[in-house]
């Protein structure tokens, strides 16, 4: 059940990213190009997603536990430090250069095009490199 | 941007949000793609690895299904950075999201809707840095 739920939820997420055209780097970069021909689509996507999660999370998190696990797994860190901000800034540079963030990168592997494949391989390498650098075990 | 693009964006955003809610309802997990990918890459083939791998497979399947249903056209995707630029971007996104513990979905959608102060600061930081980066790449270089 856990596996089927994960597959179906991932599928829905992938449909959403594709329908909204967030898989298209030109459209994402267009959102950040205020000095060029600005494309506000990303704001509509974030607005739609946040509306659903803002309401849905409140309903779901009232429950004692999720359907298929004994507890909710929520982040507990509270500290806003240089690591959080520095990492986010680096991510933003990469997002601005390529116009691809992890979700659309993985989803657009379905296109069979070379760019998403290159992106995801580099993404995996960067992720593993940073994990090793941070000395993380998990 | 056309009205059609705005409607598609809103509809796609609602689907993304609904998927995040369903993941919390069923598995009790945050739908942060970089976190799920990062944990899947550890290749410890346990129960937690399996759901993450299947979620990622679902993303690809969802993309395929939506395009097969005529909801997008893969030939229309445009990669302004080219192959080398896209590779550099991928490295930066991997390093940045790992150090900063989240990406657009984890901080920008899930974290913000939980009113997390960390996610708010991270989202402002990556949005601002993407804005500056695009300005430099498109208008100064």
**What pLDDT, in 10s, does the model give residues A52-104?**
999 999 999 999 999 999 999 999 999 999 999 999 999 999 999 999 999 99
Task: Suggest the residue from B29, B36, B97 to mutate for an interface test with chain A (most A CBs closer than 10 A).
Answer: B97
| Inter-chain touch B22–A110, beta carbons under 8 Å | no
The pLDDT value recorded for residue B44 is 87
Mean per-residue pLDDT over chain A, rounded? 96
The pLDDT value recorded for residue A106 is 98
Of B123, B27, B118, residue with least CA distance to A46: B123
Average pLDDT estimate for B80-102: 97
For B115, the token pair is 């009113």
Average pLDDT estimate for B21-39: 97
A123 vs B contacts (CB less than 8 Å): 37, 90-91, 93-94
Asked if residue B36 is part of any domain, the answer here is: no
The pLDDT value recorded for residue B2 is 87
Q: Does B100 touch chain A (CB under 8 A)?
A: yes
The pLDDT value recorded for residue B102 is 95
- Residue B61 pLDDT class (50, 70, 90 cuts): very high
Q: Does B48 touch chain A (CB under 8 A)?
A: no
Asked if the model's pLDDT at residue B37 lies above 90, the reply is: yes
3-class DSSP state of B25: helix
Structural domain range at position B107: 78-141
Asked if the model's pLDDT at residue B42 lies above 90, the reply is: no
The pLDDT value recorded for residue A136 is 61
Share of residues in chain A with pLDDT > 70 (%): 98
Share of residues in chain B with pLDDT > 70 (%): 99
| Inter-chain touch B60–A72, beta carbons under 8 Å | no
- Residue B79 pLDDT class (50, 70, 90 cuts): very high
Of B107, B106, B99, residue with least CA distance to B124: B107
Which residues of chain A from 3 to 62 reach within 8 Å of chain B, CB to CB? 3, 5-27, 29-30, 32-36, 39-54, 56-57, 60-61
Angle at A18 between CA B117 and CA B69, to 5 degrees: 150
Asked if the model's pLDDT at residue B1 lies above 70, the reply is: no
Question: How would you classify residue B82: left for phi > 0, otherwise alpha for psi between -120 and 50, otherwise beta?
Answer: left
Share of residues in chain A with pLDDT > 90 (%): 96
Q: How many domains does chain B have?
A: 1
The pLDDT value recorded for residue A138 is 47
Q: Which of A13, A54, A92 sits opposite B19 (nearest CB)?
A: A13
Q: Alpha-carbon distance B81 to B10, whole Å? A: 26
- Residue A137 pLDDT class (50, 70, 90 cuts): very low
| Inter-chain touch B1–A119, beta carbons under 8 Å | no
Helix (H) or strand (E) holding A95: helix A82-98
Q: Alpha-carbon distance A60 to B75, whole Å? A: 39
Asked if the model's pLDDT at residue A21 lies above 60, the reply is: yes
Cα maximum dimension of chain B: 49
A5 vs B contacts (CB less than 8 Å): 22-23, 26-27, 51
The pLDDT value recorded for residue B141 is 87
Of A125, A14, A37, A85, residue with least CA distance to B86: A125
pLDDT in tens, B124-135: 999 999 999 999
Asked if residue B61 is part of any domain, the answer here is: no
| Inter-chain touch A3–B51, beta carbons under 8 Å | yes
Q: Regarding predicted confidence, which is higher, B47 or A32?
A: A32
């Amino acid at each position: 059940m856990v596996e089927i739920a994960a597959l179906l939820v991932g599928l829905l997420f992938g449909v959403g990213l594709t329908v909204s055209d967030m898989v298209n780097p030109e459209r994402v970069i267009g959102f950040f190009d205020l000095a060029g021909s600005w494309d506000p689509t990303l704001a509509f996507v974030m607005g739609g997603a946040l509306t659903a999660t803002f309401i849905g999370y409140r309903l779901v998190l009232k429950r004692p536990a999720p359907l298929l696990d004994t507890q909710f797994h929520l982040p507990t860190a509270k500290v806003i430090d240089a690591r959080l901000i520095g990492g986010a800034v680096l991510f933003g540079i990469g997002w601005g250069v390529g116009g691809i963030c992890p979700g659309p990168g993985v989803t657009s592997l379905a296109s069979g095009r070379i760019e998403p494949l290159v992106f995801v391989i580099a993404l995996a390498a960067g992720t593993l490199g940073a994990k090793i650098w941070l000395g993380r075990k998990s | 941007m056309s009205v059609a693009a705005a409607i598609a964006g809103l509809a796609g955003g609602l689907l993304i949000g609904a998927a995040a809610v369903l993941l919390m309802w069923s598995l009790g997990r945050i739908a942060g793609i970089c976190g799920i990918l990062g944990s899947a890459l550890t290749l410890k083939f346990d129960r937690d690895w399996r759901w993450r791998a299947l979620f990622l497979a679902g993303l690809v399947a969802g993309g395929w299904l939506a395009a097969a249903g005529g909801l997008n056209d893969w030939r229309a995707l445009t990669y302004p950075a080219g192959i080398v630029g896209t590779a550099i971007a991928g490295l930066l996104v991997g390093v940045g999201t790992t150090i900063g513990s989240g990406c657009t979905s984890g901080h920008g959608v899930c974290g913000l809707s939980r009113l997390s102060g960390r996610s708010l600061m991270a989202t402002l930081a990556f949005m601002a840095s993407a804005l500056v980066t695009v300005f430099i790449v498109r208008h100064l270089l």
